[in-house]
């Protein structure tokens, strides 16, 4: 337990002073009662009644002490149930994302959609960022700090070819929090039998034009994701009509491969939308099976101390009135 206003504890000195004053008052009353009893003016009290007369004062003293402790703003770490989930924004940063069939470009359209998604998420959702081209890299590990996620998105730049499989593989590794090792032979033979663990409270948002140019097979990785309980929500970036983009002095035709993205989403029981739809990402987090975790969080318990202290003071007053005919 920590104390927010430790100087308030100085008021606890009032309690022993009250005890001393109470003892002195009892002695005065005892001497007066003894003198009156010797003169035959008052009867001697029963021992049981003598003992219980101290209970109201004990309750008063304890109540005052608790109220003072409350004023000192005590804070304790309490176990709190919390629902958590993880979303990985996997960005295609290949050269084809330079295309301008979406204004101002595919990559910028993807960033706009992702930023809108991030800003609407509750704090219980942690968001990571993965960038993939020929290979893939984790740009940001899952975080619930919105500014960190937006900064990671803004830093993305394009180059190279496209490996949807690498993007999915690195996204799964980021979700697992450790590098995964998947045998290509196992992927080719029966990807559904590859077990990397279960991560049902996680999802991948795949922002890409769907044009896959290199291994591993993205559908095989989609099977792995499905086995791990991870839904892949594909966001198509571009148009099916396509356009031409300049890469190293060459004109390269590029168009949205919606069929590939739809198949990946279908394999993992995810969804497919296009980046042109402003509402495409808004409902994704609702499909995540958030899990309950118990975490310890600091909580100020001033109200609790004050309530218990007030209850003891009220109880002491009631007993004093019933037993002694006075409040104090």
Domain residue extents for the chain: 2-76+297-324, 93-289
- Tokens representing residue 243 in the block: 């356009």
Rounded mean pLDDT, 189-194: 56
Q: Which single residue is written with the structure tokens 């109201």?
A: 56
Per-residue pLDDT of 228-253, as tens digits, reads 889 999 888 887 787 777 777 777 77
Instruction: Return the bridge partners of 293, or none.
Output: 82
CA 285 to chain CA centroid, nearest Å: 14
User: What are the C-alpha distances in Å from 239 to residues 79, 242, 244, 270?
Assistant: 50, 5, 12, 21
93-289 is classed in which CATH architecture? Answer: 3-Layer(aba) Sandwich (3.40)
Residues 6+ apart with CB under 8 A from 212: 162, 163, 164, 165, 218, 257, 260
Q: Identify whether the C-beta of residue 256 lies closer than 8 Å to the C-beta of residue 235.
A: no
Q: List the one residue out of 178, 167, 168, 90 whose CA is nearest residue 128.
A: 90
* Interacting residues of 264 by C-beta distance below 8 A, sequence separation 6+: 164, 168, 206, 218, 219, 222, 232, 234, 270
**What is the per-residue pLDDT across 130-167, written as a single tens digit (0 to 9) for each?**
999 888 899 999 998 999 999 999 999 888 888 898 89
């Amino acid at each position: 337990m920590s104390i927010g206003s430790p100087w308030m504890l100085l008021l606890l000195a009032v309690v022993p002073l009250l005890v001393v004053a109470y003892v002195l008052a009892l002695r005065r009353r005892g001497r007066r009662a003894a003198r009156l009893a010797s003169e035959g003016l008052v009867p001697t009290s029963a021992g049981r009644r003598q003992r219980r007369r101290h209970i109201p004062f004990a309750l008063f003293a304890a109540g005052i002490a608790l109220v003072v402790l409350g004023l000192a703003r005590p804070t304790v770490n309490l176990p709190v149930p919390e629902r958590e989930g993880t979303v990985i924004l996997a960005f295609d940063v290949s050269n084809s994302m330079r295309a301008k069939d979406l204004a101002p470009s595919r990559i910028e359209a993807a960033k706009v959609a992702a930023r809108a998604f991030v800003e609407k998420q509750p704090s219980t959702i942690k968001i990571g960022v993965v960038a993939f081209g020929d290979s893939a890299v984790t740009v940001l590990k899952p975080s619930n700090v919105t500014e960190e996620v937006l900064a990671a998105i803004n830093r993305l730049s394009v180059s190279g070819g496209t490996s949807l499989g690498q993007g999915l593989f690195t996204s799964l590794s980021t979700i697992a929090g450790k590098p995964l090792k998947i045998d290509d032979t196992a992927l080719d033979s029966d990807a559904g039998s590859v077990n990397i663990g279960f991560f049902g409270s996680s999802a991948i948002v795949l922002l890409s034009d769907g044009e896959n140019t290199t291994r591993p097979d993205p559908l095989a990785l989609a099977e792995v994701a499905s086995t791990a309980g991870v839904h892949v929500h594909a966001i198509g970036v571009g148009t099916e009509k396509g356009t031409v983009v300049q890469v190293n002095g060459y004109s390269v035709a590029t168009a949205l491969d919606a069929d590939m993205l739809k198949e990946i989403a279908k394999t993992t029981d995810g969804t497919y939308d296009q980046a042109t739809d402003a509402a495409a990402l808004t409902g994704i987090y609702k499909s995540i099976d958030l899990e309950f975790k118990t975490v310890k969080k600091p909580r100020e318990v001033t109200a609790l101390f004050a309530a218990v202290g007030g209850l003891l003071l009220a109880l002491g007053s009631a007993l004093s009135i019933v037993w002694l005919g006075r409040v104090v």
